[in-house]
Amino acid sequence: MMDIKETLTVYANENDKGKRIDKFLNELIDDATRSYVQKIIDNGLVEIQGKKITKSGNKLKGTEIIVVNIPEDEVLDLTPEDIPLDIIYEDSDIVVINKAPNLVVHPAHGNYSGTLVNALLYHIKDLSTINGVIRPGIVHRLDKDTSGVIVVAKNDEAHGKLSEMFKEKTLEKIYVCIAKGIFKEKSGRIETLIGRDSRDRKKMAVVNENGKIAISNYEVIDEGKNHSLVKVRIETGRTHQIRVHMKHLNHPIMGDTTYGNGNDGADRQMLHAYRLKFIHPTKNTEMTVIAPLPEDFKRAAKHVGVDISKIESEIKNGK
């Protein structure tokens, strides 16, 4: 009997008519492999209209209610890997990393190597155990191709207190991005609901109902001919929040092939978490950690003619 980690209830629509259930679920579950999806179907963890199915080739009619039970990961041990880490700060309770782009934070759904967690297991002796063997020390996430600040807990006390800060939204999280176009309003507050995109369930979207509140505050720092350098402070931490909000404003992030119209001269979305302010979980002192801009971000800024000197000055001065 598999232990269930999460239960998802989703609705097939006309766009899904004739689609195989395994393909549908592969689009739904983040980072899932086809073999992983077939495994949960084979184990009777998927129901269509209240009936368990065990055949991956079942085709949808486009009107069904589908319940998916996501099992706990079965991996007992992860392999430490000598993946380079840029450590900004470290003490006996926490370690702060400037995460490189193209690095997944933790293993998931059959992909158990090449992640930040594998690197942490190699470089850091002790990590908190609250999130189990798959996510040791992990308190929050960044998307694979988003670079910047991640704070990791070395013990359970630090993990618990940091998790509470994220839950209560008492941290200050600031990002910088290069967005397409010139903003009419040079600053503003975006408050919407964000939920799964009904047309592509691996994407998120601004929705009118059945979403979670998402709040982003933006400020244009500089403008080129066709791009803008934008600072974004988020009050919530929804999946793909800044990327979705920038698309909502019709200013998708440069290089974002999921929410934009192409790579636009960049190999990944130009989004960097450069500042995190929080109370140290055991010392009770205010901390501000800064992650320098990666080289690909600097090259992209130069390519589109936006000036990053103000952001670089803030980073240099630790502000």
81 SS3 class: coil
| Band (25; pLDDT cuts 50, 70, 90) | confident
Measuring CA to CA, how many Å separate 144 from each of 60, 101, 105, 107, 200?
A: 31, 6, 7, 11, 19
Strand partners, 7: 69
Q: Are 67 and 41 in contact (CB under 8 A)?
A: no
Q: How far apart are CA 163 and CA 281, in angstroms?
A: 10
CA 86 to chain centre: 19
State pLDDT tens for residues 98-147: 999 989 888 776 667 889 999 999 999 789 887 776 678 889 989 999 99
In angstroms, rounded to a whole number, what is the distance separating the alpha carbons of residues 155 and 94?
8
47 Cβ contact partners less than 8 Å away, ≥ 6 residues apart:
53, 66, 67
* Structure token digits, residue 311: 């952001």
Lowest mean pLDDT among 72-76, 129-133, 181-185, 194-198: 72-76
Instruction: Give dist(CA 115, CA 103) in Å, integer.
Output: 6
CB 117 within 8 A of CB 77: no
In the chain, which segments carry CATH 3.30.2350.10?
A: 87-168, 172-317
Superfamily name and number for 172-317: Pseudouridine synthase (3.30.2350.10)
> What pLDDT band is residue 310 in, cutting at 50, 70 and 90?
very high
Mean pLDDT, all residues of the chain: 89
- Exposed, middle or buried: residue 227 (CB in 10 Å: 0-12, 13-18, 19+)? buried
Instruction: Give 5 or 173, the one with higher predicted confidence.
Output: 173
DSSP letters for 159-221:
HHHHHHHHHHT-SEEEEEEEEES--SSSEEEEEEEEEEETTEEEEEEEESSS-EEEEEEEEEE
pTM over 0.85: no
Q: What is the distance of C-alpha 215 from the center of its chain? A: 16
d(CA 203, CA 197): 5
Query: Is 22 a residue whose pLDDT tops 80?
Result: yes
Fold classification of 4-70 (topology level) = 3.10.290
**Which pLDDT value is given to residue 175?**
98
User: CATH 3.10.290.10: which residues of the chain?
Assistant: 4-70
Active-site residue identified among 143, 145, 256, 264: 143
The radius of gyration of the chain from alpha carbons, rounded to an integer in Å, stands at: 21
- The per-residue pLDDT for range 208-228, each reduced to its tens digit, is 887 899 999 999 999 999 999
Please give the CATH number for the structural domain made up of 87-168.
Answer: 3.30.2350.10
pLDDT tier at 263 (50, 70, 90 boundaries)? Answer: low
Question: What are phi and psi for residue 295, nearest 5 degrees?
Answer: -65, -35
Q: Which of 163, 172, 162, 157 has its CA nearest to residue 289?
A: 172
DSSP state of 73: P
Q: What is the DSSP letter of 313?
A: H
3 is catalytic: no
Report the distance separating Cα 264 and Cα 314, nearest Å. Answer: 27
Helix (H) or strand (E) holding 315: helix 309-317
Nearest to 230 by CA among 296, 171, 306: 306
The answer to whether residue 5 scores a pLDDT higher than 80 is no
